[in-house]
Structures are given as C-alpha cells and as structure tokens.
A and B are shown apart, each in its own frame.
Chain A
Amino acid sequence: MNPDAENTPHIIVSDLTMAYGDFVIQRDLNFTIYRNDIFIIMGGSGCGKSTLLRHMIGLQRPAKGQIYYGDINFWQADAAERSRVMKKCGILYQKGALWSSMSLAENVALPLEEYTDLPDRDIKEIVSLKLALVGLAGYEDFYPSEISGGMQKRAGLARAMALDPDILFFDEPSAGLDPVSAKRLDDLILQLRDSLGTTVVVVTHELASIFAIGNNSVFLDGATRTMIAQGDPHKLLAETDDPKVKEFLTRGEAASLESLAE
C-alpha cells in the first residue's frame, strides 16, 4: 500500500534447512522476497515446495536457518509475536481448507470476528464484498460441501483476503482447476497485487501461471535437495544454463529439441 516500500525486502529466508527427522528435504535455501513481488516457489512434484510454504507460515519449524519477516526473526520470536506476523498473512490452502461446519459467509467472517471490533452489520458487508470479489456473490449461506472444488478454492481466497493481508500465500492455486478458472485466478492475483500492494507467494508447477504472474522465483530441485536457480522466471528461461531448470521451464521440449538436433 505504500509505494515507497517497493524493492524493500519483505521476507528473507536464510540458510534454511528443512527435514523430517533425519530425512533432509531441502537444505541451504537463501532467497529474498521483496514487497509487491509475485514470488513463485517452483520445482518438480515432491521436491518440498509445499513444505517450504509450511515453514514460512509457521506450521513447521526449520531444522536449521532463519526466516525473517521484515526485521522479525520469525522462528526465534515467541508465539505471540509469530501470531502477530501471521495475522498480516492470508493463506490459500491447496484444497481450500474451508471449515466444513460453517457456511461460506461464516468462514470469511471468522477472522474478522476474531481480530476486529466491527459490528455484525459491517462484517456482513465486508463478507459479501469479499465473496463478490472472487465471483461468489450470493453463495453466502452455502456450505463448503455444497459447492464445487474450484468454488471452494475461490471461497478460500475470499477468506484469506478477509483481513486485507500484507502477504498472500497460495499453495498450488491452479491445481484441480480447469484452464479458464486457473487463468481467472491468475488475473485475480495480479489485480490484488496491483490494487492492494500485496506481496504474493505462490507455490506452483503450472508453467502458464508461472510466466503469467511471477516476477521473482526460486527453483527447488528434488534430486540435489537444494535450490538451483532464482530470479525472474522470464529471465531464467532466457538465460539459465542449468539443464534441469531449462527442461522444467520449457516442459522438457528444449531437451527433446536438442536431442533431435544431435
């Protein structure tokens, strides 16, 4: 929201190592997410993208290394401080993760009820605005089980946006969506960034989305268990020498072209 704030680091990940017990998933991750970035965490299936996200949103403690939100050292801070940081974050989970016992309106309203003193009438207004923003106007009283997967995801986004967060996290936003809905979601993400100045972090392996919205990224490699590239995905595509990154960003077509040429 503050235009001067552009190009200041928003989230810094330094020397992060993630592990389940002795099993290291990714090590030595170092990258910086700037304000207003749409930052893509990409990599093949099972390389630890979603796990990285879980570390960033406080669900899993790093085996080693730090994550900074501004100048707050997230995992060194106490629980109260962490929850203050998280209050400024909205998260869209892979399957929406709507609370199944509550209607869509109640889902979106819960964060507002928890963290604001707004009267019920205002909350209702905000809820219907947020649902309208994701194209679900009129679905207030539906329960998550009564709507389609794509709609659940959009409702999840409405909930993630409820408190006008500084940072929005998306876990595989286009997984399970048809191409048109996926495109709409991408457009929505761009608009949110442009109009609200939100920093966006997206875990995805959807190439179309990566190039449509991303302006910064990190590439995690499952085999070497660390990051092997970072930067603007367009530049990566043009400049990278790493065959794995190239293969990923071209759907392996570059590799097959080369092999044909040989």
Chain B
Amino acid sequence: MQAHSKIDFSQPSPNILNAAISGAWKIGSRAFSPETVLSRLESDRGITSLIVDANELSAWDTTFLTFIRAITKGCQMKGVTLEIQGLPEGVEHLLHLAAVVPEQKGVSQKKRRLPFLYVVGESAIHFFTSSKQMLSFIGEATLSFLNFLLGKARFRRVDLLVFIEECGADSLPIVTLISILVGLILAFVGAVQLKLFGAQIYVANLVAIAMAREMGALMTGIIMAGRIGAAYAAQLGTMQVNEEIDALSTMGISPMEFLVLPRLFAMVLMMPLLTLYSDLLGIMGGAIVGVGMMDITLVQYLTQTQATLDLTNISLGISKAGIYAIIIALSGCMRGMQSGRSAAAVGEATTSAVVTAIVGIIVTDGIFAVLCDVLGI
C-alpha cells in the first residue's frame, strides 16, 4: 500500500510558501483539492512566491495533473510567482501537451444565464418560426397531393402496401383490447348511475353513442399516434441522420412524395376502418357488462343499440377518424423530416411527433364537439 497523498506547508520567510507534496496522488486515494493551497495564499496576502516540491511524489495520475493545473491558474490570477520542483517527467510532458494548443477564442459556447424576458421572447419567436414551418410543411404536403391527383407524384406502390399492413392489420390486436375495455368502462360508469333510475337498458344507448361519436375515433387516434406517428417520426428521422433524404432530393425525387405521401395514404385509408372496428368492439364490451351484470338479454341489448345508432353518429365518428389520420401522419412525418442529425434529435422528434399528434387530435375533437352542437348533429 502506497503512502497517502500529503502536503506539508512551511514558510521559510514571510513572503514564500513552501508546499512539499508526497505520497500517491491517484483517483480514489484521498487527494487534496487545490483549494488547500490557494486558500493559504488567499488568507496570507503577504506571500508572493509559492514553491511546490514534488520530489517525494510516489505515484500520480490525472488527479495530480488537475491539481497542478488549478494551482498554476490560481497563482497566475493572484500574481504569485510559482516554482515547481521535482515534477515527474511524464507530468511535465502532459502539462506541456495540454498547454501547447491555446484555447480557441469564440469556440466554447458558454451557456450564460439569460434574463427571463429574453427567454420568453426567444420562445415566442421560436413558436412563430415553428408554426411557419408547420404551415409550410402542410402546404408542401398539399402540393404533393395535388401532384398525385394529376398523376405526377412518384412513390413505390410496395411501400404503400407495407405501410397499410403496418397501420391496419398490425394494429388490430391493440385496438381490439383497448376498444373492448373502453366499452366495458363506459358500461360500468353508466350502469351505476342508470341503475338508480331502473333504466339499465339505456346502458346500450350510452355505449353505442359514445363509442360511435367519440371514443372509437379518439381511442384509435391515440393508439395510432403512439404506434404509427412515433414510428413515422423515427423512420424519417433516422433517414435524415443517414443522409437518405439528401440522397433522394439530390436525385430529384421529392421526399415529400416518395416518403410522406404513402405514409399519409396508408393512415387515411386505415384509420376509418380501424375506427369502425373499434366501434363494434366497444359495443361488444358494453354488451358483456349489460348482459353479464344487469339482467339484460343479448337480444334486448342489441335491439336497443340498433334503435339508437343511426348513420349520422357512425359517419361523424368515421369522418373524425379521417381527419385524425391526417393529423397523426403529418405530425409524425413533419417531426421526422425536421429532425436533427443525431440520435438524441431522433428521440426528440419521436416524442414531439406523439405530443403534436395527441394535442392535435384533442383540439380537433373539441372543435368538432362545438360544431356539432351548433349544427345540431
């Protein structure tokens, strides 16, 4: 076991401080902080010269280097002359190496503490630029769609089929689970209240209307935002990192048409179908509660559901689903395309795609609710 690190101070004359260093100065061993020396210089202003004697140093690593560097810096600032004796050759070389390339001015971007108003202003500006980007992305997507209508847009049909499978068939299990559960929950909530009036049969109405108008599209939308919106952002973000998108645009192929359109189409085609499926399973979930717990027969339940549901309710839900699909696909693709060129940026893009999509869905749903009320739908 090597001797512990040690500093012995002596003061041969009032203006000279002698620091004799000995023992092992290594990471893990109890090393001194440069403050032990510097505080002495601080407390005794009379000292004009510091002599560090490292002759007794037995072992060293980076700990010692940083110690010496800090002391050198401290002495320079205080105007104390520093003399170091007996420094091991390796230490000298490394210190020289660290000093040989001077610090680049203007390179280190120090994070200053910015004033509060500055931060507020900056985020306001950021908000406007990002809304501008969003609008221009939507505009570009619209133009590519027009190109598609004119038969000029180019993307691979195979891609479209793959995305359709990804959005449609692959999403069925999770949509099934969530929809049945939502149906069950709605039925439970309704059952407790309606039982008070002996009106259990109206659970069927409640579940059917709620699923068809709201919950079917909303829950499918949220599932798809997490499943597909995130996937789109991650795919396009990675392609951005990999320069694949650059490779497309330099080849004169619009990434908007080639990458975004098939993803958008797959979503717009599949979301309404999934929503219809979700409505059905929600009603089934409601039926499980109604039949299993409230002495309603299955026939009664279904007849009641049939009497309640009309095409307006169902088509309202489905048209919402179409709009949610556009929101999810576009926010996923937009965040992916805007992603920076690093792993962290792709992660951020994915998170922000899901957040954008869900906020978009909820806000749109709110608008729909108000519109339906006004129009009496």
Interface residues of A (CB under 8 A from B): 54, 57-59, 83, 86-87, 89, 91, 93-95, 97-101, 110-111, 114-115, 159
CB within 8 Å of A: which of B236-251?
238-239, 242-244, 246-251
Known contacts: A97-B244, A98-B244, A99-B244. The answer to whether A59 contacts B239 by CB under 8 A is no
- Whether B159 sits at the interface, judged by CB under 8 Å, is yes
Complex interface: chain A residues within 8 A of B242 (CB): 95, 97, 100
B250 touches A58 (CB 8 A): yes
Q: Does B252 contact A (CB under 8 A)?
A: yes
Q: Say yes or no: A57-B243 contact (C-beta < 8 A), given A101-B159, A114-B154.
A: no
Q: How far is the CA of A247 from the CA of B22 in the complex (A)?
A: 42
Q: Is the CB of B243 within 8 A of A114?
A: no
Interface range on chain B (Cβ under 8 Å from partner): 10 to 19
Residue of A nearest to B252 (CB): A83
4 smallest CB-CB distances across A and B, nearest first, come from A97-B243, A83-B252, A97-B247, A93-B243
- List, in ascending order, chain B residues with CB within 8 A of A59's CB: 246, 249-250
Complex partner residue of B250 from A89, A99, A110, A115, CB under 8 angstroms: A89
Q: Closest CB-CB distance, A120 to chain B, in whole Å?
A: 14
Beyond the given A86-B252, A97-B243, A97-B246, please list 20 additional residue pairs across the A-B interface where CB-CB is below 8 A: A86-B250, A86-B251, A87-B251, A87-B252, A89-B250, A91-B247, A93-B243, A93-B246, A97-B242, A97-B244, A98-B244, A98-B247, A100-B238, A100-B242, A101-B159, A110-B251, A114-B154, A114-B251, A115-B252, A159-B247
CA A87 – CA B251 in complex, angstroms?
6
Which residues on B sit within 8 Å (CB–CB) of A95? 242-243
A227 to B249, CA, bound (A): 28
| Bound CA span A83–B252, Å | 5
Q: CB-nearest residue of chain A relative to B239?
A: A100
Residues of A within 8 A of B246 (CB): 54, 59, 93, 97
B38 within 8 A of A: no
- Name which residue of chain B comes closest to A171, CB basis: B243
Task: Provide the residues of chain B in CB contact with A114, threshold 8 Å.
Answer: 154, 251-253
A255 to chain B, nearest CB (A): 13
* Cβ-neighbour of B247 out of A58, A87, A99 (below 8 A): A99
Instruction: State the CA gap A93–B154 with chains docked (Å).
Output: 23
Q: How far is the CB of A108 from chain B (nearest CB, A)?
A: 12
B residues with a Cβ closer than 8 A to A are: 154, 159, 162, 238-239, 242-244, 246-253
Task: Closest A residue to B235 by CB, please name it.
Answer: A101
Complex: chain B residue closest to A101, CB-CB: B159
Chain A residue with Cβ nearest B162: A101
Closest to B238 in A: A100
- Contact partner of A100 among B162, B244, B248, B251, CB < 8 A? B244
Given A95-B242, A100-B239, A100-B242, decide whether A57 and B250 contact each other with a Cβ distance below 8 A: yes
CB distance from B202 to the nearest CB of A (A): 50
Give chain A residues whose Cβ lies under 8 Å from the Cβ of B249.
58-59
Contact (Cβ within 8 A) B251 A93: no
By a CB distance below 8 angstroms, the chain A residues around B239 are: 99-100
Residues of A near B154 (CB, < 8 A) are 114
Task: Return the chain A residue nearest B254 by Cβ.
Answer: A83
Q: Which B residues lie within 8 Å of A98 (CB)?
A: 244, 247
User: Given the complex, which residues of A lie within 8 Å of B238, measured CB to CB?
Assistant: 100
A239 CB, nearest partner CB in chain B, Å? 28
Known: A95-B243, A98-B244, A99-B244. A111 touches B250 (CB 8 A): no
Chain B residues near A57 (CB-CB < 8 A): 250
Smallest Cβ distance from A148 to chain B, in angstroms? 16
Write out the residue numbers on chain B whose beta carbons fall within 8 Å of the beta carbon of A159.
247
Complex formed: what's the CA distance from A136 to B242 in Å? 21
User: Chain A residues with Cβ under 8 A from B251's Cβ?
Assistant: 86-87, 110-111, 114
Question: Known: A101-B159, A114-B154. Contact between A94 and B243, CB under 8 A?
Answer: yes
A91 near B244 with CB under 8 A, answer no
Most chain-A CB neighbours within 10 Å: which of B162, B239, B249, B252?
B252
Contacts of A101 in B (CB 8 A): 159, 162
A136 to chain B, nearest CB (A): 18
Residues of chain A contacted by B243 (CB below 8 angstroms): 93-95, 97
Closest partner residue, chain B, to A222 (CB atom): B104
Cross-chain pairs A/B with CB under 8 angstroms, 19 sampled: A57-B250, A58-B250, A59-B246, A59-B249, A59-B250, A86-B250, A86-B251, A87-B251, A89-B250, A91-B247, A93-B247, A95-B243, A97-B244, A99-B248, A100-B242, A101-B159, A101-B162, A114-B252, A115-B252
Give the complex CA separation of A89 and B252 in angstroms. Answer: 11
Interchain CA distance A86-B253 in the complex, whole Å: 11
Cα–Cα distance between A43 and B154 once the two chains are bound (Å): 39
Residue numbers in B under 8 Å from A111 (CB-CB): 251
Identity of the chain B residue whose Cβ is nearest the Cβ of A59 in the assembled complex: B246
- List, in ascending order, chain A residues with CB within 8 A of B253's CB: 110, 114
On chain B, the residues within 8 Å of A100 by CB distance are: 238-239, 242, 244
Shortest C-beta distance, A122 to chain B (Å), equals: 19
Nearest Cβ on chain B to A168's Cβ, whole angstroms:
12
Chain A hits for B247, CB < 8 A: 91, 93, 97-99, 159
Which chain B residue has the least Cβ–Cβ distance from A91? B250
Minimal beta-carbon separation of A224 from chain B (angstroms)? 13
Docked Cα-Cα span, A57 to B246, in Å, equals: 10
Q: In whole angstroms, what is the CA distance A18 to B283 when docked? A: 62
Alpha-carbon distance A59/B255, docked complex (angstroms): 13
Nearest A residue to B154, CB-CB: A114
User: Which residues on the A side are within 8 Å of B248 (C-beta)?
Assistant: 99
- B346: shortest Cβ distance to chain A, in Å? 14
Q: Which residues of B sit under 8 angstroms from A87, Cβ to Cβ?
A: 251-252
